[in-house]
Amino acid sequence: MTHSDSTLPVGYSHVAPGHVASVVTCLEMLSKPETATAPLPAGVTLVKLRNPELEAYRALFRQVGSAWLWYSRILMEDEKLRAILNRESVEVYVIKEKEEDIGILELDFSEPDACELAFFGLTPNTTGKGFGRAIMNQAIALAWSRPIKRFWVHTCTFDHPSALGFYIRSGFRPYAVQVEVQEDPRLTGHLPADAAPHIPVIRPAK
């Protein structure tokens, strides 16, 4: 993934067929909120991964994120993904309800004095059960248990429509907006063709 510091011109900008574009909102929290950390719901646990099997990790990543077109870890080369997941500065948790894997939580402390909420999501059949608030409070507590000055996250227009409001209610504040353009992973075969039906597929002309 490449990054550019240039800004888009005012008005409409074309996106090439075969690609998708999302508006990304970056949010940050500069101090630990006063909210008390509530216990997780009965039967729900966070299990820290150590040397995870990539096939199992990607399977859960797809299960959690396909509906929202999560693709970064699907496209990533095995060696690079393995290195990220095994960094001392990265904490990856599987969210479980009893014995079932129902979500992913990843905290990245690689940046000095900061923590990125790199991934947080639940499987489709778990969304709406009210688990998200308690798990987010746990994530906030885990992040601020380290000597950080900033906790940040980004969400985009492909994500669940409640995601941005959820992060703001959790204490994050928007500070930047970006546009991300990427090859459509449904056309490259990395995600099912029927994934994320709320995002149109624009096929290149043959």
| Encoded tokens for 56 | 């199992």
φ, ψ at 182 (rounded to 5°): -150, 150
pLDDT recorded at residue 127: 75
pLDDT recorded at residue 1: 56
- Bridge partners of 182, per DSSP, are 20
pLDDT recorded at residue 5: 76
Measured distance CA(171)–CA(99) in Å, rounded: 31
Whether the per-residue pLDDT at 39 is higher than 70: the answer is yes
Query: CATH number of 36-183: 3.40.50.10210, 3.40.630.30, 3.90.550.10, 3.60.15.10?
Result: 3.40.630.30
Average pLDDT across the chain, whole number: 93
- E strand intervals along 50-172: 90-97, 100-108, 114-122, 150-156
Tens of pLDDT, residue by residue over 146-197, are 999 999 999 999 999 999 999 999 999 999 999 999 999 999 999 999 999 9
pLDDT recorded at residue 6: 82
Tens of pLDDT, residue by residue over 105-151, are 999 999 999 999 999 999 998 877 788 999 999 999 999 999 999 99
Instruction: Provide the residue ranges of all domains of the chain, joining segments of one domain with +.
Output: 36-183
pLDDT recorded at residue 120: 97
Query: In sequence order, what are the residues at sequence separation of 6 or more whose Cβ sits closer than 8 angstroms to the Cβ of residue 138?
Result: 37, 40, 46, 105
| Encoded tokens for 179 | 């546009």
pLDDT recorded at residue 130: 81
- Rounded average pLDDT over 55-64: 96
Strands 114-122 and 100-108, sheet pairing: antiparallel
pLDDT recorded at residue 165: 97
Predicted structure pTM score = 0.93
